[in-house]
Amino acid sequence: MTDPSIPFNRPFATGEEFAYIREAIDNGHLAGNGPFTSRCARWLEQQTGSRRVLLTHSCTGALEIAAMLAGVGPGDEVVMPSFTFASTANAFVVRGATPVFVDIREDTLNLDEQQLERAIGPRTKAIVPVHYAGVGCEMDEILRIAEQAGVMVIEDAAQGLLATYRSRELGTMGRLGALSFHETKNVISGEGGALLVNADELIERAEILVEKGTNRREFLRGEVDKYTWVDIGGSYLPSEIIAAFLWAQLERADAITQRRLGLWRRYDDAFAEAEADQLLRRPVVPMHTTHNAHMYYVVLPNGRRERFIQDLTERGVHAVFHYVPLHSSAAGRRFGKAVGHLAVTDEMSARIVRLPLWTGMTDEEISTVIDAVLAALGKRSRHPVHT
């Protein structure tokens, strides 16, 4: 078996990153909250419509701040899907809370809003919908249930930049949202994230928490004559080097998204016949959402995934599965609890395969992956190479 010639992911650079990093060095400000941090935050506020955006060193960090802002503590419960990354749960576990895992929808693989009401109890502090693959959860119903129960909604929009639900940007509908700029995301800074603060009454404390529990931002704005320790907090800021890299990406964010959408559509068109033949299932994107082509996955019949991935590897294509459900993980069993049997989560996590998709992929590489997939399914490629 040879090493795959087409990797699952390859970080994309616009070409301006080094110039902006050099500018950051010349500015003489390399810690957080410098000029590039400000540019990125303002761009994100204007793009999303969030009341305040605070850059963080990771999406995990943004979720940890959200947990503090929500007042989550020992004995509290936070409802979330089991089909998500560990950070979604960890951010609340470190505050002493119990993640309550619910099942996902079979179509979008997002949190099943129909499972929420029975998962909410007197200790529930928040609901954390995760917008899988940049496709929006059913936020209208989630927000209705949360308001009725008096609990906060915190959106894990790690994969959701420049995607919408009913024309609203993902991450802006709950009182708080979190974005990721990890190297596997569409817009990257290696590591990085952002907290979207969508409620005015949370902005002041959010600024304190991200600044190590100090009122430093008030000091920098001239609102106090010195800054001091006033609350809990942490060291969540990214450096200006990271922010400079991110700025180069945000400047090209629309072009990056459009390129990814073009690649995504190539896959989707090529596999329509295979879906009609029930050899796989393509991603489902509801009409009232716009996605950002964060990933392209296929869902295979039961028992076919291991051999399928092996076939692709032998053809020089690195495809991967995704999350081990949190409710069945060692830490999930220790720190959390499940509501219901989570049958859809268990089934889909055993059938999903993610295909290579990154911004710099060539048309030839996409064609190679398409041919490999169809060959692994026993079908002949009829899809032309696009140039």
Q: Which residues are CB-contacts of 338 (< 8 A; sequence separation ≥ 6)?
A: 82, 100, 101, 102, 327
Q: 344: pLDDT confidence band, cut at 50, 70 and 90? A: very high
Say yes or no to pLDDT of 2 above 50: no
Among candidate residues 136, 161, 194, the one with its CA nearest the CA of residue 359: 161
3-state secondary structure 293-325: CCCEEEECCCCCHHHHHHHHHHCCECCECCCCC
Q: Write out the two tokens for 14.
A: 């616009």
Provide the pLDDT for residue 217. 87
Give the angle 166-135-168 at the CA atoms, nearest 5°.
25
What does the domain layout of the chain look like in residue ranges?
A: 17-250, 253-376
Mean pLDDT within 77-104: 98
Cα gap 372→316, rounded to integer Å: 8
Cα gap 275→293, rounded to integer Å: 19
Question: Phi and psi (nearest 5°) for 105?
Answer: -75, 150
Fold for the domain defined by 17-250: Aspartate Aminotransferase; domain 2 (3.40.640)
247 and 261 in contact (C-beta within 8 Å)?
A: no
33 and 53 in contact (C-beta within 8 Å)?
A: no
Question: Counting Cβ atoms within 10 Å, is residue 387 exposed (0-12), middle (13-18) or buried (19+)?
Answer: exposed
Provide the pLDDT for residue 219. 87
CA-based R_g, the chain, Å: 21
Please report, for residues 214, 229, 231, the alpha-carbon distance to residue 226 in angstroms, rounded to integers and kept in the order given.
10, 10, 15
Q: Write out the two tokens for 202.
A: 């949370």
Provide the pLDDT for residue 386. 46
Among candidate residues 115, 117, 174, the one with its CA nearest the CA of residue 149: 117
Q: Could you tell me the pTM of the whole model?
A: 0.95
Provide the pLDDT for residue 387. 38
Cα gap 203→66, rounded to integer Å: 11
How long a stretch of residues is the chain?
387
- Give the torsion through C-alpha atoms of 169, 12, 349, 281, to 10 deg: 80
Residues 151-204: tens digit of each pLDDT: 999 999 999 999 999 999 999 999 999 999 999 999 999 999 999 999 999 999
Residues 108-131: tens digit of each pLDDT: 999 999 999 999 999 999 999 999
- Topology match between the domains 17-250 and 253-376: no
Among candidate residues 247, 191, 244, 240, the one with its CA nearest the CA of residue 11: 191
Domain 253-376: CATH class, spelled out: alpha beta
Q: Which residues are CB-contacts of 242 (< 8 A; sequence separation ≥ 6)?
A: 57, 189, 190, 191, 192
Look over the chain and give the mean of its residue pLDDT values, rounded to a whole number.
Answer: 96
Residues 19-55: tens digit of each pLDDT: 999 999 999 999 999 999 999 999 999 999 999 999 9
Residues 203-250: tens digit of each pLDDT: 999 999 999 999 988 888 889 888 999 999 999 999 999 999 999 999
